[in-house]
Amino acid sequence: MMLTTKAPWADLDLPSLVDQARELTDQFFPREILFAAPSQKYYDTGGYRNERRAFRTISVTGQACALRCEHCGTKVLDGMMPARVPGALAEIGAALVDEGARGVLISGGCLDDGSVPLDRFLEDIGRLKEKGLKVLVHTGLVRREIARGLKAAGVDQILLDIIGDDRTIREVYHLDRTTEAYRESLRILREEGLSAIPHVVVGLHFGEILGEWEALRMIREEGASQLVIVALQPLPGTGMAGVRSVSGDEVGKVLAAARIMMPDMPISLGCARPAGPEKRSMERWALRVGVQSIAYPLPETVAYAEQLGIRIRYHEQCCSVLN
């Protein structure tokens, strides 16, 4: 099906759009920000350095993924700890607790239906919660029985990408589904009482702005606990290695539109962002819009937040963990 891809805010002046968003932010949120530095990546601003042990990411499929999406090609799985069989996940979790970990993200590659194969690991996930870990789970498209199992296991957050254009689903994810499947996943998570944290990837369609507006609209209509905005990061060795990076202004417009559409929803600028001057621009717009967290901010972004009089907090977990 063809969806409306022209966002009503697409042609609006960015500074005025951001000013509208800031006014709404100030109505619903204190003037403070969390700077998140998850342990899987070294981070040191000179004023803060992560300890590299508080939060880890685990893949239940190792490096395997049936979809081999154009923007990832399994590269994102390379840095995750593998736990491919039941029992291994609980063992890894116990070892991480002994090392001082406070949380984990459980992820993995997808099956050909767009879901992460979590059914065999639900008991292990429950054991991680019993150890006192904060547990975040990346599900991909989710079936109701899996959602119920994750709820019973006590998971803290469910992370999933929301895609707003059928062409992107086919051409980037190589998946024979429609946007309705992503809407249904959000609906299932809400109905089963789980904390859903949708992610919108700006520029996911080979660097083009295509389904972002529709994705935000679905999230507004179905509801979510928080929203994470990330930007396409062209990775070497993937089908998008040579595509253009999205601009800071494009990300700024999506952030501002998200705030205007969902004034009281916490918004984060997540860790996936291209390096270079556009990253700096994205982070400055995020501060001006008034997001609640930014992952791995540049030192100059920290200085800009101080200049704006924003109270700063740090932690070593995912940006969606706000407390």
pLDDT at 322: 92
Task: Provide the residue range defining the domain that includes 205.
Answer: 21-315
Residue 7 lies in a domain: no
DSSP H or E segment with residue 158: strand 157-161
What CATH number is attached to the domain comprising 57?
A: 3.20.20.70
Q: Count of domains in the chain?
A: 1
- Condensed to tens digits (0 to 9), the pLDDT of residues 13-49 reads 899 999 999 999 999 999 999 999 988 788 888 888 8
Residue 323 lies in a domain: no
pTM across the whole model: 0.94
Query: Is the residue at 48 inside a domain?
Result: yes
The predicted model gives 256-275 an average pLDDT of: 95
Q: What confidence tens digit (pLDDT) does each residue in 184-215 have?
A: 999 999 999 999 999 999 999 999 999 999 99
CA distance 131 to 36: 23
In a domain, residue 1? The reply is no
Q: Which of 77, 70, 109 is nearest to 238 (CA)?
A: 70
Residue type, 81: M
C-alpha 31/C-alpha 12 separation (Å) is: 25
Digit-coded pLDDT (tens) for 75-109: 999 989 999 999 999 999 999 999 989 999 999 99
Three-class DSSP labels, 220-273: HHHCCCCEEEEECCCCCCCCCCCCCCCCHHHHHHHHHHHHHHCCCCCEEECCCC
Torsion sign (Cα): 198, 306, 257, 260: positive
**What span, in angstroms and rounded, lies between the C-alpha atoms of 162 and 127?**
29
Label the pairing between strands 157-161 and 103-107: unpaired
Residue 2 pLDDT class (50, 70, 90 cuts): very low
pLDDT one-digit tens code per residue, 154-173: 999 999 999 999 999 999 99
Q: Note the pLDDT tens digit of each residue in 114-161.
A: 999 999 999 999 999 999 999 999 999 999 999 999 999 999 999 999
Integer CA distances (angstroms), 195 to 148, 150, 155, 240, in order: 12, 11, 9, 31
